[in-house]
Chains A and B, each alone.
Chain A
Amino acid sequence: MATISINQLHLDDLPWIVEYDENKCIQCGRCTASCSFNAIKPVIEKRRKIISKLQKPYFESILVIKQVVDFEHHCRGCGMCSRVCPNDAIKAVRNFNDRYSVRYRAAKADSLKKGGRSNLNTEGRTLDKIKVGRISQMTDPSLDAARHKFELRTPFGRVLAADKLNFVNEYDVLKLTDTLPPNRWIYPVIMGDMSIGAISWRMWEAMAIAAAYLNEVMGIPVRMCTGEGGVPVKLLKSRFVKYMILQIASGHFGWNRILQAMPDMIEDPAGILIKIGQGAKPGDGGLLMANKVAKYVQEIRGVPKADLLSPPTHQGLYSIEESVQKMFLSMNAAFNFRVPVAIKVAASSTSVSVYNNLLRDPYNIVGGFFLDGLAGGTGAAHEISLNHTGHTITSKLRDCYLAAVHQGRQGEIPLFAGGGLGQSGSFAADAFKLICLGANGVFTGRLLLEIAGCVGNDTGKCNACNTGLCPAGLTTQDVCLTKRLDIDVAAQNIVNYFIATDIELKKLMGPVGNSTLPIGRSDALITVDKHVANRLDIQYVC
């Protein structure tokens, strides 16, 4: 007789249970063929049949689909089985009685890892408590979103106060005499910031194509951050590199190829982003699990197939002053001070001090301050970091803006905010509200995956980006899975989403009567939450 032991992993322990209806199943095999996690398989089950009291019962064998119960192959709830099933015979259902996280730690003596973003969401979303409440109606007219001319651009790069521009007046015409820090006007949404390796080559190229298409066909000057996993040399040597913000993080992955390509580059990149921290897992370094370190990833990063753990800090950077000295100066110098160099940090209680320090930096070489909130996404992280570290983005962005206002230096180092934008459905609304609170722009990464076809969500569905088994071909390096992704469709979806976002941003700018970005226009916002109103210094309403 088959028995079990109490500490054996059981179906009931798993976070997702596959519900299967054998009466509906036609045994076509599509579900098992499609499951990238190997979490279901066809098996023969015994059924006891009772005919009559005169005859002995007999056993019948039938083919059923059964869930695999082990740590490696447990169901992630991605739902691919139900998508392919012609008869709705199968689906993954969340198990609210699961004990998986306890079981895993007890069995493996290791921390839990996952991809996606924090699933706790205990904070609620501040941005959802804010409405655009100052509508232009009588004294000043609303603008027509579809037909008026709007300008959605924001400066990227160090902005000097007007009295530091040192213009010379020649016969009533101002002329530039000084070499000023590089500064570009870009779309207020920066995309990407996901590395080759963390995401599949197809997804990465789809983003890059989408960025180029938006610039060259749609006239939307969006910039893409490369993430830190190297940059294809063909891209570096093409004109399209001008839409790319090259990232350097603590791993410095792929920078030797970037440097070696420099003599052959025909355009400057759009900027450099020094990543100090990431909102999803602040204080923790990058993490790329070995199963995603494909051969080409090994080459471009210059590493063997192994779990790649970037250190949590740039080696040798033990103070803000040193980071300015080493990273900013070197990165500025690399492109002869022609390319804006910005910094990305995880939002933290200390962000304002960092921002103040950078504002006061006498060399004017910090070209942007990217604040990443705790709801940001990641390809792989320890669950403990994802769920229990980090700082919400909204108040921290506001704090930094008001700190600049206090010094009379708002806009000098453009502020970009990110982390979980679009989480509750409307990216444009989140972006607009943050801009009103003082952001020059926003950035988004994980949302692009959702746009391209991610089947997961923020309440634990799938979130298996770390496994390299992404069923949508987004965060995997496996050929079979990656080739599920149609690069043209993914790119087109991103393009479409940006076009929609552009329309929706205008739909918010029109009613407040602005045709240019309302950066710092907190008077446009209201909230029914007194605490939010107090904290953000916006109008409380009820």
Chain B
Amino acid sequence: MCRIGAIKSKNYLHPSIALKLMRSQQKGHDNSGFAFVMQDLGGIFAAHKDLPILSMAATVEGTRRAEDILNNLGFTRVLQWSPDINHEKGLKIEPMPNYVFEMFQYPKSHKYATKEEKEELLTDAALMLRSELDKDNAGYIYSFWPDVLTLKEIGSPKDIGTYFNLWEETPDLCAKIITAQCRQNTNYDIVRYAAHPFFLDGYTVLVNGENTFFEKNKDYQMSLYKGYIGFESDSQCFLYTLHYINRILKWPIQYYKHTITPLPFDEIEKRNDRDVLLRIKASLAHLEINGPNTILGVLPDGRMLCVCDSKKLRPVVIGRTDETVIMTSEVTGINDILPDRDFEKDIYPNECETIIVENDLTVKRWQQ
């Protein structure tokens, strides 16, 4: 089981907070990797929140090819940031040659394009980059989206922190939303793409647990949308379903829970909206999940989301102060980051809830 965490704050936070959040939960993961997504960025990326940032780990050749592709599409580089690598010996990490965080200006052709058209362009570009780099394992495209930065690496979280100099707080790298995972994903090959959080078109999802309906989820999702690819982790299905419900079908976010863990029939029968719920249960039967999972997510508008499986087989707790809300697997992480909060206000989500952290940090609990 992985340990996962999502932090949303009124202040800019440095990713070291994610390492600290995960540190006390270490026994629950296997030190096999660390990954985080930062959204609502501060520091050096704060000035251009509307411009896409490419987050990529690649070989030298891969980096060059990716840049060529983007140049050919008309993107022009605005800004580049590279982590300050610490080449200390003995670190448990399997680094890639290049870690690229580049901000691009949209092509001239898209100067007056709508938001939807720009997003379409970014999705297509990211898919193109990925398929190009996949050909000879030349690199990994994690995200190509405005105001989003992703880093994933294989190894010990502590050492990954040291390697990228993440323990030391610096003002140039910070964000108001940070989601992070320490993986225990030794079920399958350890692949960078299999590390949470997963990102697609503004949606970020991280999950712990096993998706026992992976096969049927995947079989169905493969033909739903061009971005539903990879499936290196059975948890990508949770992201794709969230994306499908909210972005493609444009259904309110509460229907995510109704899709992945539909209510039992005897409860649906008692409800006024039973016709709608039964139709969803039938039409999206292949998106149902049936495993032990806690799902944390970030929506394109910056709100955060938490839902659990219908038997509540995975832990999660939400702690908060006026400044910061943290959702994570175990309370120990919150105790470390927010030791002075009122723990009586902690929320232990149940199996029927959808929890939304609004942008003003109010927490909405919606019972299925």
Contacts and interface: CB of A to CB of B under 8 A. Distances in A.
Is there a direct interface between A and B, measured as CB atoms under 8 Å apart in the complex? yes
Contact of B279 (A143, A176, A513, A521): A176
A173 B279 CA distance: 14
Contacts of A175: 276
Interface in B1-58: 1
Given A140-B212, A151-B264, A162-B284, A513 B252 contact: no
Interface in B196-246: 209-210, 212-216, 219-220, 222-224, 244
Interface in A508-522: 512-516, 518-522
Residue of A162, A183, A513 ringed by the most chain B CB atoms within 10 A: A162
Contacts of B273: 173-174
B212 A155 contact: no
A110 interface: no
Going nearest first, the 7 A-B pairs with the smallest beta carbon separation are: A408-B223, A140-B210, A172-B252, A523-B215, A155-B282, A520-B216, A139-B210
Contacts of B214: 523
B252 A411 contact: no
B265 A185 contact: yes
Contact of B290 (A174, A515, A520): A515
A159 B282 contact: yes
B291 interface: yes
A270 B132 CA distance: 53
Given A173-B252, A173-B273, A165 B279 contact: yes
Given A411-B286, A513-B291, A520-B216, A163 B275 contact: no
A71 interface: no
A148 interface: yes
Given A143-B311, A174-B252, A521-B212, 14 more contacts: A139-B210, A162-B244, A172-B254, A174-B251, A175-B276, A407-B223, A408-B220, A408-B222, A410-B220, A411-B282, A516-B288, A519-B216, A520-B215, A522-B215
B213 A183 contact: no
Interface in B171-219: 187, 209-210, 212-216, 219
Contact of A155 (B213, B285, B291, B310): B285
A169 interface: yes
Contacts of A411: 282-283, 285-286
Contacts of B285: 155, 159, 411, 519
Given A151-B265, A162-B249, A523-B214, A185 B280 contact: no
Interface residues of B, number: 43
A165 B250 contact: no
A159 B283 contact: yes
Nearest to A408: B223
Contacts of B1: 139
A520 B213 CA distance: 9
Nearest to B288: A516
Nearest to A411: B285
A174 B276 contact: yes
A174 B265 contact: no
Contacts of B167: none
Contacts of A86: none
Interface string B261-281: 000110000000101101111
A515 B311 contact: yes
